[in-house]
Amino acid sequence: MRKRLFGLLSVLVCAALAMACAESDADITEKIKSEISTDRTITNASNIDVSTRGHVVTLSGTAESPIAKERALTLARATDGVKRVVDNLTVAPAAPAAAATQAPASAGMDDAAITTAVRAKLAADGKVPADSIDVDTKAGVVTLKGTVKSEQEKQEVLQVARDTQGVVKVEDLLTVKAS
């Protein structure tokens, strides 16, 4: 009788531990929201809604591009505890006026060309030591790393990058050198 009771108690303890370690729907939702909001290819994460029920995740709302939509789905599918992902996302149509004005600016501008253009503009500017700034571009998002002398210099570097043809967004990882 004791062995049977001990065995039953062991099974119950194991089951309780397994349930405690399992991801809750709320945990899954928060993890996916966090991943989407910090991903560089998704620039308008606030337009993507995430809900989870029974470990089935539903993504709805509007992604800014087919690439952003696919990335959001990939991030959701890769999250621990997710059984399935339901895709209710739509892709935002490009505004006709915006598309007409942006098409010539970004035509033919791949990430390498954008990086080269930002570096060249920084070097030509002369106000900022271009060799102290690391420029990296992915999906039109320019990341700037390095050290600058002042907050004003930092703002100038950021503005040069923003004003470069083909740049979608600028990520600031610059630090101001303490004097």
Same domain, 109 and 87: no
Range of the domain at 60: 23-91
Domain end marker among 91, 114, 147: 91
CATH number assigned to the domain comprising residue 143: 3.30.1340.30
Closest CA to 57 of 76, 70, 44: 76
User: How confident is residue 101, by pLDDT bands cut at 50, 70 and 90?
Assistant: very low
Domain end marker among 70, 91, 112: 91
User: Of residues 59 and 105, which shows the higher confidence score?
Assistant: 59
pLDDT tens for residues 4-45?
655 655 655 555 544 545 689 999 999 999 999 888 888 888
- Token look-up 């709302």 returns 61
Is residue 9 one of the residues assigned to a domain?
no
Label residue 108 left, alpha or beta by phi (over 0 means left) and psi (-120 to 50 means alpha): left
What tokens appear for 53 in the block?
A: 């029920």
Same domain, 80 and 113: no
Same domain, 119 and 76: no
User: How confident is residue 98, by pLDDT bands cut at 50, 70 and 90?
Assistant: very low
Domain end marker among 69, 91, 113: 91
* Mean pLDDT of the region 128-151: 86
**Residue 68: what residue type?**
A
User: Of residues 127 and 165, which shows the higher confidence score?
Assistant: 165
Same domain, 87 and 113: no
Same domain, 165 and 118: yes
Is residue 5 one of the residues assigned to a domain?
no
- Token look-up 């470990």 returns 55
Same domain, 30 and 83: yes
CATH number assigned to the domain comprising residue 49: 3.30.1340
pLDDT tens for residues 142-152?
998 988 888 88
User: How confident is residue 97, by pLDDT bands cut at 50, 70 and 90?
Assistant: very low
Is-above-0.85 flag for pTM? Answer: no
- Tally: H helices and E strands in the chain: 6, 6
Instruction: Give 73's contacts (C-beta < 8 A, 6+ positions apart).
Output: 59, 85, 87, 89
The span from the CA of 149 to the CA of 129, in Å, is 9
Same domain, 36 and 82: yes
105: pLDDT strictly greater than 70? no
The span from the CA of 41 to the CA of 50, in Å, is 17
Query: Which of the 8 DSSP states describes residue 44?
Result: -
The span from the CA of 43 to the CA of 40, in Å, is 7
Domain count, the chain: 2
User: How confident is residue 179, by pLDDT bands cut at 50, 70 and 90?
Assistant: low
168: pLDDT strictly greater than 60? yes
Half-sphere exposure of 1 (CA within 13 A, CB side): 0
The span from the CA of 172 to the CA of 175, in Å, is 9
